[in-house]
Amino acid sequence: MTKILVIEDERILRKSLVRLLSAEGFDVISAENGRIGIELANKESPKLILCDLMMPEVDGYQVLSQLQENPDTAMIPFICLTAQEERAVLRQVMELGGNDFLTKPFTRIELLRAINTQLSKHQRIIKDQKQAVEEVIVNLTNQVYYDGLTNLPNRILLRDRFEKLVKQLNPNQACIPLIIITLNQLERLTEGLGLDYVDLLFETLIERINHQIGANDTIVRLNNEQVILIHPSIKNKEEIIKIVQTIIESFNQPFTLVGYQVILNTSIGISLYPDHGTDFDTLLKNANIAAHQGKQKKQNGYEFYSDAIAVKSKDRLLLEIDLRQAIQENQFEMYYQPQVNLKTRKIIGAEALIRWQHPEKGRISPVDFIPIAEETGLIIDLDQLVLKTVCEQIKQWQNNNMFLPISVNLSGLQFSRKGLVKQILKILEETQIDAHYLDLELTESAVVQNPELAEQILNDLKKLGFKLSLDDFGTGYSSLSYLHQFPFDKLKIDRCFVADISNNSRNAAIITGTILMAHGLSLKVVAEGVETDAEAQFLEDNNCDAIQGYWYSPPVTVEEFETLFQDSK
Ligand code: C2E
Ligand code: CA
Ligand code: CA
């Protein structure tokens, strides 16, 4: 029986409504004022409410608005009974959430028609809602099982497939490979193009790989940078190597993304059931470890999981954890290595080089922790910390009448980040130093990643007065003429060309050529890693502007550097 609540203070009207509706087969409850009406609505959950508007104390408007506030009663169809047919009144009722109204006096037919209309309307709404909920549930199931965009089965389905494959496998004969394909350097692309394009990219990639694999293989996007492939079974490693090599080949062709051509690198990690784990999660983890290891070894390569890798990756992980703490606690110290004018033998600047004093392991070289910082993104905080420390140092030296430009290394990741210029300016403002006392060192790889963006950022920095140096020149792949489009002031010849110049004619030729060309482009040249008199002499003879190296001094502490500087004056 459909329950109807009647709220009406006029006793005679209330009684006759109850009688009439009961006779029509409804289950009727009634209240003689608004307060009781609200109570009953909450307690009895009627299917419909008839409510008088004009009542002492709690009137119909108040009943309606209170019921609307409670999600349990807000959906109950609400018909107002009113003596006036004023539009303003009716409008207010509708605005408050009422569904219909009846003007007194009304006929039995009018009453029943209004009630039936509201009840069937309500039923339809409930049905729609149910359907919507069911759709959401179906969607959710799909989302858990399938990647929303590509509609490919994802992790959970993959696990199911894997478990089925294991059951079918003849244990004496074969193993099941799990292959993780990681796309390297995706962060830059995501920052530059946005996530939608990365989705497109994955679609293209999966399509490409699908062309090369068998129908029984399962390929799935795992997350924002990885795709995973399960191959039903192999008899030996050679079989899987062949598959992996065709996948790597598919990366030789650039990916086209709305007019952009992007070349992507991949690192592939492979784990084998049952050798490297018997459950899906372990195998997934181990394939990931292998992919990670492969990434450090070389681009576009693959790596099988092994115990040796596991030990190494654990060490790395521990170092990463320590590094996070080191940044929080600032366990670093800056060392300064003089840059010397070869003609005057005077110190004309210094490069700030970071040193990490690990509480247990002692000093750790930046060569060992900068790559970890770059890979984990910690470099952003680290470079920030370095910049701040160095600027404070510059200020302190200036307070003591020691004015000289200091070079700071900026990692590629830090460089391509939005808001870099702003952040550097903020540090300058806080420490109150002038931009032309800071020389920012960047490597070729940092600028050629995204030449347009680099050019813009470099020009901005240049306009603000910063000096810009191209670090490790010669180790990259770009020609000097190409790099000329960027507003560098200085070029630092990498130490691998300086080593052994007196015996190595090729290196000697590269150095003389580079110096000539750089000067032709109005760039100053600093040679790094100068260790011997012969090297210094050769560089002086060939008009190199400045040198940096153990020949003059290794990187030293602040106090030691101050002494060196006073002595060189
Ligand atoms: P880099 O920018 O090329 O720095 C020069 C490196 O050469 C320094 O190594 C320096 O100690 C070393 N060196 C200087 N003179 C000689 C020499 O005569 N012979 C030899 N064999 N080596 C010499 P370091 O301090 O270990 O730094 C290594 C790299 O770590 C740096 O290479 C730089 O890329 C990075 N790095 C160091 N400090 C920072 C920093 O504060 N931030 C960032 N992002 N990177 C840093
Ligand atoms: Ca440097
Ligand atoms: Ca360098």
Per-residue pLDDT tens digits for 205-259: 888 888 888 878 888 888 778 889 998 888 888 889 999 999 998 888 888 776 6
Q: Does the beta carbon of 474 lie inside 6 Å of ligand 1?
A: no
Q: Which two tokens stand for residue 191?
A: 């920052």
The protein residue with its alpha carbon nearest to ligand 1, atom 19, reads: 529
Higher per-residue pLDDT: 33 or 134: 33
Nearest residue to 149 (alpha-carbon basis) of 213, 227, 216, 249: 227
Residues in the chain: 569
CATH superfamily label, 155-310: Reverse transcriptase/Diguanylate cyclase domain (3.30.70.270)
Quick one: DSSP state of residue 181?
E
3-state secondary structure of 16: helix
Assess whether pLDDT exceeds 80 at residue 164. yes
The residue whose CB lies within 8 Å of the most ligand 1 atoms, and thus the one to mutate among 330, 409, 475, is 409
Region 297-302: mean pLDDT is 78
Give the contacts of 218 (CB within 8 A, at least 6 positions apart). 153, 157, 158, 161, 229, 230
Q: Which two tokens stand for residue 282?
A: 């372990």
Higher per-residue pLDDT: 108 or 149: 108
Residue 309 CA to residue 521 CA, distance in Å, equals 47
The residue whose CB lies within 8 Å of the most ligand 1 atoms, and thus the one to mutate among 353, 364, 379, 471, is 353
Assess whether pLDDT exceeds 80 at residue 466. yes
Q: Which two tokens stand for residue 161?
A: 């497939």
Q: Does the beta carbon of 367 lie inside 6 Å of ligand 1?
A: yes
From ligand 3's centre to the CA of 472, what distance in Å? Answer: 4
Confidence of residue 179 (pLDDT cuts 50, 70, 90): very high
Confidence of residue 481 (pLDDT cuts 50, 70, 90): low
Quote the pLDDT of residue 149: 45
Region 390-398: mean pLDDT is 97
Q: Does the beta carbon of 381 lie inside 6 Å of ligand 1?
A: no
Assess whether pLDDT exceeds 50 at residue 499. yes
Average pLDDT in the chain: 87
CATH of range 3-128; options 3.40.50.1000, 3.20.130.10, 3.40.50.1950, 3.40.50.2300: 3.40.50.2300
The residue whose CB lies within 8 Å of the most ligand 1 atoms, and thus the one to mutate among 363, 370, 553, is 370
Quote the pLDDT of residue 27: 95
Kindly list the domain boundaries of the chain, sorted by start residue.
3-128, 155-310, 314-568
Q: What is the CATH class of 314-568?
A: alpha beta
Q: Does the beta carbon of 412 lie inside 6 Å of ligand 1?
A: no
Q: Does the beta carbon of 337 lie inside 6 Å of ligand 1?
A: yes
Neighbour count for residue 455 (Cβ, 10 Å): 14
The protein residue with its alpha carbon nearest to ligand 1, atom 10, reads: 555
Confidence of residue 43 (pLDDT cuts 50, 70, 90): very high
Look at 43-57, 352-366, 444-458 and tell me which has the smallest mean pLDDT: 444-458
Q: Does the beta carbon of 14 lie inside 6 Å of ligand 1?
A: no
Rounded to two decimals, what is the model's pTM? 0.58
